[in-house]
Structure 1
Amino acid sequence: MTPEITVIICTHNPRRDYLERVLTALEAQTLPQDQWELLLIDNASNSILSSEIDLTWHLHARHVREETLGLTAARLCGFREAKAAILVFADDDNVLAPDYLKHTLAIFRQHSQLGAIGGKSLPEFEVNPEPWFANVDAPLGIRDLGNQIQICIWTETTQSQKQYPPFAPIGAGLAIRKQAAELYVQRIIGNRTRLALGRTGQQLTSGEDNDIVLTLLEASWGIAYFPELQLTHLISAKRLTKEYLARLNRASTKSWIQVLDIHDIRLWPKVPRWTVLPRQIKAFFCYQPWRDPASYIRWQGACGLFEGQAELL
């Protein structure tokens, strides 16, 4: 019997206590195991995870080793290996609600025009964030857009306007039809810029989720937010530091400009490379990053913006 859903966990040197919680949540799924398979993509971890992580509790689980480091490479591996028509990506710190797979299957059965969907990603912090954290809009994969379903399908009119939906799925808990995923793979193979998107080791480059969403919208697939899809996002203490959030904000802002430009969306003009440093210095005095961590993180985002503008063609 061919599974209807493939759950794909892409991981590189995972934190074991977090990964165990991810797997325990999958073991508790209400969708019978004979209807879904599990792939653990070991993305060039220092140790071979197949010898350390037990998946024998699942009827259809496999370890797959991907030696090319990077989230995009790991996801492409998952696309190739998956047997099901629906793929669900769970990061190694995403604890899916027990009915996540059941709801995913029901939604795709009911909405044939949807190519990718997502839902709520609620944080569980290892330590309480500092007070300044509330003033930082950092892309940590935290999302709660309320209890209303939101759907976007580009028409001929909206194709020309190309506005990125604010409720588009994020990587945490991303569910995508394999048919739509194969279209995305066809688009990026051989494209070094798009293949380089996604986190690689300690590099915090992002944008691969946005690239997937825009590719599907351009191909007339719909994307949507369904509040019944809920997961808990485990956020470690190290991801709440000023230094980490500053690096993340700078890298993600630069990547955002890059991804939009790939899809002919240019919200900011190109700037000469020689102006980047003067712009960053000017922004330094505007944002006053010496005042508090939130101001420093926002300034780093501005630095990433200028760097992205300079790399526009």
Structure 2
Amino acid sequence: MSIKLSVIIPTYNPDADILGQTLQALKVQSLPSSEWELIIIDNNSTPAVKVDLQWHPHATIVKEPNQGLTYARIKGFEEAKGDVVVMVDDDNILAADYLQHALQLLENRPALGAAGGKSLPEFKAEPPVWIKDFYGNLALRDLGNEAVTGKWEGCYPGFAPIGAGMIIRKTALKNYIRHINEGARLISDRQGQSLGSGGDNDMVLNILKDGWEIGYFPQLVLHHIIPANRLEYRYLARLNKDSFKSWIKVLHIHGINPWKKTSRWSVPLRKLKLWFTQRAYVGKANFIKWQGYCGMAEALADL
């Protein structure tokens, strides 16, 4: 039987226990393993990633020495044999019917290029009361129980899929992969100390602008493991700042940035003003939000 679907898991120095949970969820998928392959992309881990994949007839570990999530994903796309690609992070726990739904959705909807669903939290420590304000930063989302689809309308859709669990028709990735390989631009996710995350957005915009539909489908459900260190406010502040910087860059590249370029000399003054307007001194949540706006100020000056 031919491979219909490819699961791609990019990973860099993974937590062995959490990656084990991700793989365990894949072991119990309702879609027969003969119909899908598993590709783990070892993105320069030290030591190299070693996991038992004997349970799967079409599983492999591929190395990608170029550091960065975008490079790892591109390597996975190029290795994939399936017509459908499912992007899985190394801390995602897919529902047992996830792959089956993914395949059915793209087989039944020929205009659909990419889609996502619910990414629900599995916290490993008690989260702060304000954490929901930053669910988007943590790749968490629940848009309800109604499906939503749409095409390119000159802006970024609020229902656009996030990277965690995104399902993609491989043919819809053709131009995106070409842009990256030609060096035309690179919106790099998670590279070095950067926590930027614009690669997902760049991918979605390329798919939309190529004429494909995208969608949100509530039957696609995964749980995202959030360890204690990712709930620490200084981490979230840095995450929010880098995410805003990536977001502005993506919007600018795609010609849909609504904000004007600012002067580099004005950045410190803008940050000081934002300190007060965002009341960053009041509490941790306000401080995190302020850092996001600081990232925006820096990005607009760098355009």
Match of residue 155, structure 2, among 151, 155, 163: 163
Over aligned residues, Cα RMSD in angstroms?
1.2
CA offsets per residue over residues 233-274 of structure 1, 9 Å max, x none?
Answer: 000111101111000000001110100111100211110111
Q: Distance in 1 between matches of 2:84 and 2:133?
A: 37
The correspondence of residues 88-167 of structure 1 with structure 2, limited to 5 A, is 88-136=86-134, 138-154=136-152, 158=153, 162-167=154-159
Structure 2 equivalent of residue 234 of structure 1: 225
- How far residue 206 of structure 1 moved from its aligned partner, in angstroms, is 1.4
Structure 2 equivalent of residue 287 of structure 1: 278
Are the equivalent residues in 2 in contact too, given 1:271–1:309 (CA < 8 A)?
yes
Are the equivalent residues in 1 in contact too, given 2:10–2:89 (CA < 8 A)?
yes
1:261 maps to amino acid: H
> Does the C-alpha gap of structure 1 residues 137 and 97 become closer, same or farther in structure 2, counting only changes over 3 Å?
closer
How many positions carry a matched residue from both structures? Answer: 303
> Do structure 1's residue 36 and structure 2's residue 36 form an aligned pair?
yes
Structure 2 equivalent of residue 246 of structure 1: 237
Match of residue 214, structure 1, among 182, 205, 214: 205
Match of residue 257, structure 1, among 248, 257, 260: 248
Are the equivalent residues in 1 in contact too, given 2:151–2:212 (CA < 8 A)?
yes
Are the equivalent residues in 1 in contact too, given 2:135–2:141 (CA < 8 A)?
no
Are the equivalent residues in 2 in contact too, given 1:138–1:248 (CA < 8 A)?
no
Match of residue 185, structure 1, among 167, 177, 184: 177
> Do structure 1's residue 278 and structure 2's residue 261 form an aligned pair?
no
- How far residue 137 of structure 1 moved from its aligned partner, in angstroms, is 5.5
- How far residue 130 of structure 1 moved from its aligned partner, in angstroms, is 1.5
Q: Distance in 2 between matches of 1:301 and 1:13?
A: 27
Q: Distance in 1 between matches of 2:135 and 2:273?
A: 22
Structure 2 equivalent of residue 86 of structure 1: 84
Are the equivalent residues in 1 in contact too, given 2:187–2:198 (CA < 8 A)?
no
Are the equivalent residues in 1 in contact too, given 2:38–2:59 (CA < 8 A)?
yes
Match of residue 204, structure 1, among 189, 195, 209: 195
TM-score by length of 1: 0.94
Are the equivalent residues in 2 in contact too, given 1:189–1:195 (CA < 8 A)?
no
> Does the C-alpha gap of structure 1 residues 149 and 132 become closer, same or farther in structure 2, counting only changes over 3 Å?
closer
SS at match of 2:130: helix
CA offsets per residue over residues 170-215 of structure 1, 9 Å max, x none?
Answer: 00101111111122111232336x4242111331011001001110
Q: Distance in 1 between matches of 2:95 and 2:163?
A: 16
Unaligned runs of 5+ in 2: none
Q: Distance in 1 between matches of 2:135 and 2:63?
A: 34
SS at match of 1:195: coil
Identity %: 49
Q: Distance in 2 between matches of 1:209 and 1:61?
A: 25
- How far residue 311 of structure 1 moved from its aligned partner, in angstroms, is 1.5
Unaligned runs of 5+ in 1: none
